[in-house]
Structure 1
Amino acid sequence: MARSLPEAEPVESAGDGLRSICNQPGREVEVFALRADEEPESLDRLAAAVAAARQTTWLTVPTLRPGTVEAVVGAAGLELLHRSEWFMTTDLTAHPQHAPAAPYEREVRTEGPVTVVSLHDSSGEVAARGTIAVVGADAIADRIETDAAHRRRGLGRAMMSALAEAAVAQGARTGLLIASEEGQRLYSSLGWRHEADVLIARGPVVPSNQ
């Protein structure tokens, strides 16, 4: 929803995961594992399906057993892209509030369940941007970005504050996100909790001689 993609659909083995059509170069499809730890066989099935896919497909796996997941995707012949991302949650109603320091100004645009926040510098250029999508009582923060020239000025904290405020205004209580290694310290400092590691693998892998 945050990226205006078609609604994800269950994969063939009901409950194993969800399949999303992304239509991005190198990421045509993404499969999200739902119970890799609870039922390890489900991850075997998903990894095999991704290895046999006709389109470039990402397999995203939240887990408390990253070593086990890495072994499974490797055995299936998938390419491991990311092994250090985190799935994080927070109580949005208690989220710290931080306003952007001068000369930055905040722009908030909401369309349906999706809010986009932009922070502009004195020339009007976008210095930071982020998105949050509300689904029931949950809100998913996505694509939180600060331009390299404007980092270390508190814009990340101001961005997350604005996104949380907008989501709560739409009835959300729980925030969800997948944090890159670079973002983990920021989100942790704002009270977001690490719930699971996230490993991302890609397939099918084309041999280098083809």
Structure 2
Amino acid sequence: MRELIVRWQRGWAVARALPTATDVGPGLRVRCLQPGRAVEYVALDRDPASLRDLAALVAREAEPTWLTVPTTDPAATATELEAAGLVLLKRAELLMTTDLRTHPAPPPAAGYRLATAVAPDTDPGTVTVTVLAASGEVGARGTMGLTGTDAVADRIETRPAHRRRGLASTLMGALATAAVAAGGTDGILIASEEGQPLYAKLGWRPAADVLIATTPGNTYPT
């Protein structure tokens, strides 16, 4: 599990053009530079002592800070995080994986087209896919951060006016196809509760639950 978490974080940082994470022992620290989340710690295991140490680091940060914890025992982990003085923002996200070489790739719905960009064409790099309506309006968009054979999906979004047309499935298939062309084989992502049915339908498998916690008062919407 520890290796998978490190691989996810590395690709996620590439997808968002974030600085390289710092190893702080029980976890990783990264500058996120987002509203409500200037800093994020990622736990590498759910050992109670490690979580207490990470919670103490989160509490000492001067900027809004999150702690992300992949776990195979979410109930116990939630209890431990709350006992350490943190509050939970998310309780039901999933770390998921798939073999991109067998990923479904349905064509876009009538009236839509795909635009794919790879930048840079080196390792690490990113692939971004946009699903465009005939008018040129963006219907869906997403990115994968490429590191070695890993491709980490991030910011998968279908715009409200374009939902229920299969665009998310098309988007994920196009991302997988482009990632495989760039040498990727192993898909990794953290799925929101809303996105999990889509990813499961496309063959993504859960590897761990993911909890996200922060200090009291820092409850900026996720």
Q: Please, what TM-score do these two structures have when normalized by structure 2?
A: 0.88
Pair 1:7 & 2:27 matched: no
**Identical pairs, percent:** 54
| Whole-angstrom distance in 1 between the partners of 2:158 and 2:35 | 23
1:206 Cα shift?
Answer: 4.3
* Residue equivalent to 1:61: 69
Pair 1:152 & 2:150 matched: no
1:52 Cα shift?
Answer: 2.6
Pair 1:110 & 2:98 matched: no
1:50 Cα shift?
Answer: 1.0
Pair 1:176 & 2:179 matched: no
Match for residue 167 of structure 1 among 172, 179, 196: 179
- Number of residue pairs aligned between Structure 1 and Structure 2: 201
Determine if contact 2:148/2:184 at 8 Å carries over to the other structure.
yes
Determine if contact 2:105/2:170 at 8 Å carries over to the other structure.
yes
Q: Which has the higher helix share?
A: 2
Unaligned runs of 5+ in 2: 1-13
Structure 1 residue ranges, 4+ long, deviating more than 3 angstroms after superposition:
none
Q: Secondary structure at the match of 1:54?
A: coil
**Paired residues for 1:65-144 under 5 Å:** 65-112=73-120, 113-144=125-156
| Whole-angstrom distance in 2 between the partners of 1:40 and 1:175 | 29
Q: Please, what TM-score do these two structures have when normalized by structure 1?
A: 0.93
Q: Which amino acid aligns with 1:6?
A: P
| Whole-angstrom distance in 1 between the partners of 2:83 and 2:45 | 19
| Whole-angstrom distance in 1 between the partners of 2:150 and 2:87 | 31
Aligned-pair RMSD on alpha carbons?
Answer: 1.2
Q: Secondary structure at the match of 2:211?
A: strand
Unaligned runs of 5+ in 1: none
* Residue equivalent to 2:38: 28
* Residue equivalent to 1:44: 52
1:55 Cα shift?
Answer: 1.4
| Whole-angstrom distance in 2 between the partners of 1:206 and 1:186 | 33
**Paired residues for 1:166-205 under 5 Å:** 166-203=178-215, 205=216
Determine if contact 2:116/2:127 at 8 Å carries over to the other structure.
yes
Larger Rg: 1
| Whole-angstrom distance in 2 between the partners of 1:206 and 1:150 | 35
